[in-house]
């Protein structure tokens, strides 16, 4: 057995959505993962005891090879904003970006339509007439320019021609003709989620031959959004199983195509957690000191003896049989009125807005909307440091109740998803 004695200089990683599970998806997007995020953490071969090989008392029984082991990740990316050219204003092109592929697989569905502008001066904080209603659907997120250069993100409740109703109410009515309405790359949970990824990674080593790895038919088992302490960079991580794994060896069919030099992905700079927490559309000033969201994921393998892993595909069965699809918690400092309302078990609307400019001229943003949360425990008193006290609020997400544009799977997912993740 030979070993490679070398230091990893950098990693080069790529991903693409597959059309047929287990078949290479074609041209990969460069994916800039965080340091130490390795694809090949669980590749191997299951070894089975051959307990029929010998009846001797003192034998250490031989083992035989079983199925391929195909665990991968976690791969972690920093949550980044959108470059100016990729923001969905009118006449933009909603091209699929590298992080789009990542988030679409994490949640299940992506929706992206170009923006438009406000028409007329009669807009209210909930009802706005647009220059064009093309592409608008209940459940998508939209970013409204309420005053020049400043945007607020809301979800669409209903569409009638060029008229949209949004929820919760905007802080300011966009009542000036020509104000911009940006489309938002909106990621929602899919009722049926069985699409897989091709994942590839090269470990570029110092003084040795680069090591190449590939997952075909990769499907996530876990999704973690980490909103750490205020001012820290946000991250999203995925790990899972695959139909087949390859490497360490020179990849073929197709061969490695992403080069060996480190390079940026197609995203803007990473976003830091300086978020605004909106409850029922109101920016709460009680300073969330932590915010955590867990999205359930269960990769249920579909058997196929033609593959060495014994797997032919996956189906996400999370949230079935009364399981919670989305749950979370956040910690706040004491606010007696808010704590009493949470304690009542009422259903609330939650939105976390990550805006690097904090309400000044908006460049790019990330938004997480949970349209209907319900508290699962009484508020828990905690210390938040320096002699201050607060409460931890634990909740689960309920299915949204918007009326879909039609009965298609896409429209149902947009309207009913218990969580929405958006890039502006």
Please report, for the chain, the start and end positions of each structural domain, with discontinuous segments joined by +. Answer: 7-47+64-107+189-423, 113-183
Would you say residue 386 has pLDDT above 80? no
What was the pLDDT predicted at 93? 92
For 302, other C-beta atoms within 10 Å of its C-beta total: 12
Residue with the bigger pLDDT between 291 and 194: it is 194
The mean pLDDT of 145-153, rounded to a whole number, is 92
Mean pLDDT over 296-314 rounds to 86
Confidence of residue 195 (pLDDT cuts 50, 70, 90): very high
> Which pLDDT value is given to residue 287?
56
What's the average model confidence in pLDDT over 263-272? 89
More confident residue, 397 or 285: 397
- At residue 344, the pLDDT reads 72
Question: CA-CA distances (angstroms) from residue 303 to 43, 241, 243, 307?
Answer: 19, 13, 10, 9
pLDDT band at 334 (very low <50, low <70, confident <90, very high): low
> Does residue 24 contact residue 216 with C-beta atoms inside 8 Å?
yes
Residue 345 has what pLDDT?
Answer: 76
Closest by Cα among 185, 195, 200 to 96: 185
In the three-class reduction of DSSP (H, G, I as helix; E, B as strand; rest coil), residue 221 is classed as: strand
Residue 339 has pLDDT above 70, yes or no: no
Q: What is the pLDDT of residue 336?
A: 61
Given a cut of 80, whether residue 25 has pLDDT beyond it is yes
Give the separation between CA 363 and CA 83, rounded to whole angstroms. 9
**Residue 130 predicted with pLDDT over 80:** yes
Helix extents (H) in 153-312: none
Alpha carbon distances (Å) from 274 to 5, 171, 367, 371, 381:
43, 19, 12, 21, 24
pLDDT for the residue 61: 76
Nearest to 32 by CA among 79, 88, 85: 79
- The encoded tokens of residue 402 equal 């918007």
How much is the pLDDT for 153? 95
State which H helix or E strand residue 22 sits in: none
CB atoms within 10 A of CB 125: 19
Highest-confidence segment of 56-60, 83-87, 379-383, 387-391: 83-87
Q: At residue 107, does pLDDT exceed 90?
A: yes
Rounded to 5°, angle at Cα 66 from 304 and 216:
50
Other beta carbons within 10 Å of 52: 7
Q: Are 74 and 297 a contacting pair, CB within 8 Å?
A: no
Taking the CA atoms of 115, 116, 118 and 123 in sequence, report the sign of the dihedral they define.
negative
- The pLDDT assigned to 54 comes to 63
Query: Taking 60 as the threshold, does the pLDDT of residue 1 lie above it?
Result: no
Residue 338 has pLDDT above 70, yes or no: no
Cα gap 64→28, rounded to integer Å = 36
Which residues, in sequence order, are CB contacts of 338 under 8 Å at separation 6+? 279, 284, 286, 332
Nearest to 375 by CA among 402, 400, 338: 338
Note the pLDDT of residue 366. 96
First to last CA, the chain: 51
> Residue 378 has what pLDDT?
81
Q: How many CA atoms, within 13 angstroms, populate the side-chain half-sphere of residue 171?
A: 15
- On average, the pLDDT of the chain sits at 88
Q: Domain 113-183's class?
A: mainly beta
């Amino acid at each position: 057995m030979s070993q490679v004695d070398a230091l990893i200089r950098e990693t080069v990683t790529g991903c693409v959505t597959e059309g047929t599970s287990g078949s290479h998806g074609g041209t990969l997007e460069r994916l800039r993962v965080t340091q130490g995020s390795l694809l090949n953490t669980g590749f191997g071969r299951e070894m089975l005891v051959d307990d029929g090989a010998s009846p001797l008392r003192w034998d250490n029984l031989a083992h035989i090879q079983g199925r391929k082991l195909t665990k991968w990740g976690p791969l972690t990316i920093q949550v980044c904003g959108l470059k100016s050219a990729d923001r969905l204003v009118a006449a933009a092109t909603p091209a699929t970006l590298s992080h789009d592929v990542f988030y679409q697989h994490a949640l299940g569905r992506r929706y992206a339509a170009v923006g438009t502008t406000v028409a007329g001066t009669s807009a209210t904080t909930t009802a706005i007439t647009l220059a064009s209603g093309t592409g608008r659907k209940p459940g998508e997120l939209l970013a409204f320019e309420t005053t020049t250069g400043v945007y607020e993100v809301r979800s669409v409740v209903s569409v009638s021609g060029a008229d949209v109703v949004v929820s919760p109410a905007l802080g300011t009515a966009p009542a000036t003709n020509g104000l911009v309405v940006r489309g938002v790359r909106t990621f929602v949970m899919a009722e049926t989620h069985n699409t897989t990824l091709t994942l590839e990674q090269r470990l570029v080593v110092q003084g040795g031959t680069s090591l190449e790895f590939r997952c075909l038919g990769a499907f996530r088992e876990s999704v973690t959004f980490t909103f750490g302490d205020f001012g820290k960079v946000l991250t999203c991580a995925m790990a899972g199983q695959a139909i087949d794994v390859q490497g360490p060896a020179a990849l073929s069919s197709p061969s490695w195509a992403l080069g060996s030099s480190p390079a940026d992905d197609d995203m803007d700079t990473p976003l830091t957690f300086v978020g605004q927490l909106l409850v029922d559309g109101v920016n709460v000033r009680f300073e969330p000191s932590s915010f955590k969201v867990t999205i359930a994921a269960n990769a249920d393998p579909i058997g196929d003896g033609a593959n060495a892993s014994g797997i032919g595909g996956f189906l996400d069965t999370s949230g079935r049989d009364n399981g919670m699809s989305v749950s979370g918690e956040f910690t706040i400092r004491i606010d007696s009125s808010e704590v009493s309302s949470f304690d009542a078990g009422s259903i609330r609307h939650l939105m976390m807005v990550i805006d690097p400019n904090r309400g000044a001229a908006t460049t790019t943003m990330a938004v997480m909307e949970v349209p209907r949360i319900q508290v699962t425990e009484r508020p828990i008193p905690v210390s938040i440091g320096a002699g201050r006290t607060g409460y931890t609020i634990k909740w689960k997400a309920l299915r949204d109740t918007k009326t879909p544009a039609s009965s298609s799977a896409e429209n149902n997912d947009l309207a009913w998803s218990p969580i929405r993740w958006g890039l502006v």
